[in-house]
Amino acid sequence: MACAQTGSGKTAAFCFPIISGIMREQYVQRPRGSRTVYPLALILAPTRELSSQIHVEAKKFSYQTGVKVVVAYGGAPINQQLRELERGVDILVATPGRLVDLLERARVSLQMIRYLALDEADRMLDMGFEPQIRKIVQQMDMPPPGMRQTMLFSATFPKEIQRLASDFLAKYIFLAVGRVGSSTDLIVQRVEFVHESDKRSHLMDLLHAQVANGVHGKQALTLVFVETKKGADALEHWLYMNGFPATTIHGDRTQQERELALRSFKSGKTPILVATDVAARGLDIPHVAHVVNFDLPNDIDDYVHRIGRTGRAGKSGLATAFFNENNMSLARPLTELMQEANQEVPAWLNRYASRANYGGGKSKRSGGNRFGARDFRRDGSFTRGTSNDYYSGVNSSSSAYGVPGGGYGGGYGYSNHGATSAWD
């Protein structure tokens, strides 16, 4: 179970051990003669775009190793994916729904799986995906926990989800680089009080200012998060009518439209992308300069993932949130998160936070102190009884990119440089 901040390079962290493991085991005998394929590794991700991105990365990492990587996700023609699978597969990257389909058609068997990775593991195990994941991992022909290596990765890991996840693991290590659920201090976070009715004009001001300050009067890539699919379409239309080339990505668009939107955004053709949470996790889009939370999410972990679309791989980024009376429950966790990442918290937000009930706000975390987030087995509520669990961790006082580790307290039972331990 591994936790590290957004943009810190978790994809490589689970791909490399899988690829090197497979290079050693590639020649193991797999059943022949049927149309069923027997991958050795399975990587599951919550969105089609993310699974596609992992596929591209894993293919790069396995260049000239002979390791075959195939992707399967919904919304795209299954026949093409079946043909790819028939050519051979060592690592299958998939979204849960399409994988269940392939398993039920008996075109994929999990019998030979040696490595199982769940990217965005907390999302994969929350209410939406848990039944599908249980089916894939526990009710098909996947070898049991001790017979395969299971890796769960995310930038956030609420305690309840850790507890669920432990069903899929045996003797596991909890590895935290920095604090669980913290945001990187490479991102400058700003919170502005904006009434619902003023949001559009406020966004327009931001975008105008961005063009004025930008390079050659060009719009910097800006990702705008909204709450609903309808809201995304309406805002895109409004932006377009006001002379800002924008596009949208959300669950009501066809896969083709989603992919087109992403390409158009990446290339700068439409430098504003209005998105729902479907784009909140994992997407690694170079040069996103600004993330705007037009509508704030209810959960602070979702905020962490959203702003994490900028400030990646050692680069800096800007995140602006529009806060108003509808977001009161977020005041406290947001203040704590910002303080922890050495951000300036506006006095008015501090006041709202101190008025909020202890532990207030819709959060998957239990307890009021978000930085209690850590290996749940360290909590008194966990009975160790028969468990063989053991702990490991990385005490990281600086990031992988040499940035001084203001917000990085070390994920283990001690800390240096005067930083507070994640266990505190």
Ligand X SMILES: Nc1ncnc2c1ncn2[C@@H]1O[C@H](COP(=O)(O)OP(=O)(O)OP(=O)(O)O)[C@@H](O)[C@H]1O
DSSP 333-377: HHHHHHHHTTPPPPHHHHHHHHHSPTT-SS-SS-SS-GGG-S-GG
Give the binding range for ligand X (CB under 6 A) out of 6-14, 35-43, 84-92, 254-262.
6-14
Helix %, strand %, coil % for the chain, to 5? 40, 15, 45
Determine the size of the site formed for ligand X (CB under 6 A).
14
Query: According to CB under 6 A, which one of 9, 97, 245, 405 is a site residue for ligand X?
Result: 9
d(CA 376, CA 56): 33
Q: How far is the CB of 51 from ligand X (least distance, A)?
A: 12
Residue 285 lies near ligand X (rule: CB under 6 A): no
Of residues 146 and 268, the one with the C-beta less far from ligand X: 268
How many other CB atoms are found less than 10 A from the CB of residue 346?
15
| DSSP H stretches of helix in 136-250 | 159-165, 199-213, 229-241
Q: Of residues 286-325, which lie at the interface with ligand X (CB under 6 A)?
A: 308, 312-313
- Least Cα distance to 295 among 316, 280, 317, 308 occurs for 280
Of residues 9 and 21, the one with the C-beta less far from ligand X: 9
Q: How far is the CB of 183 from ligand X (least distance, A)?
A: 10
Torsion-angle region of residue 47: left (phi > 0), alpha (psi -120 to 50) or beta?
beta
Q: Of residues 18-77, which lie at the interface with ligand X (CB under 6 A)?
A: none
Q: How far is the CB of 98 from ligand X (least distance, A)?
A: 20
Query: According to CB under 6 A, which one of 126, 185, 236, 284 is a site residue for ligand X?
Result: 284
d(CA 40, CA 92): 8
Of residues 155 and 224, the one with the C-beta less far from ligand X: 155
Residue 8 lies near ligand X (rule: CB under 6 A): yes
* CA-based max dimension of the chain: 69
Q: How far is the CB of 286 from ligand X (least distance, A)?
A: 7
Give the binding range for ligand X (CB under 6 A) out of 5-13, 179-187, 249-257, 374-382.
5-13
Of residues 183 and 329, the one with the C-beta less far from ligand X: 183
Query: According to CB under 6 A, which one of 1, 2, 3, 6 is a site residue for ligand X?
Result: 6
| DSSP H stretches of helix in 26-106 | 48-61, 78-86, 96-104
Query: E strands along 23-132, which residues?
Result: 41-44, 69-72, 91-94, 115-119
Of residues 176 and 194, the one with the C-beta less far from ligand X: 176
CA distances from 87 to 21, 37, 93, 110, 292 (A): 21, 9, 15, 17, 43
Query: According to CB under 6 A, which one of 39, 178, 181, 282 is a site residue for ligand X?
Result: 282
Query: According to CB under 6 A, which one of 1, 89, 133, 155 is a site residue for ligand X?
Result: 155
Q: How far is the CB of 382 from ligand X (least distance, A)?
A: 26
Residue 182 contacts residue 340 (beta carbons within 8 Å): yes
Give the binding range for ligand X (CB under 6 A) out of 3-11, 25-33, 64-72, 163-171.
3-11
Of residues 46 and 145, the one with the C-beta less far from ligand X: 46
Query: According to CB under 6 A, which one of 1, 3, 7, 399 is a site residue for ligand X?
Result: 7
User: Residue 257 is encoded by which pair of tokens?
Assistant: 């439209």
Letter for the amino acid at 141? D
Residue 170 lies near ligand X (rule: CB under 6 A): no
User: Residue 394 is encoded by which pair of tokens?
Assistant: 């990385």
Interacting residues with ligand X (CB under 6 A): 4, 6-12, 155, 282, 284, 308, 312-313
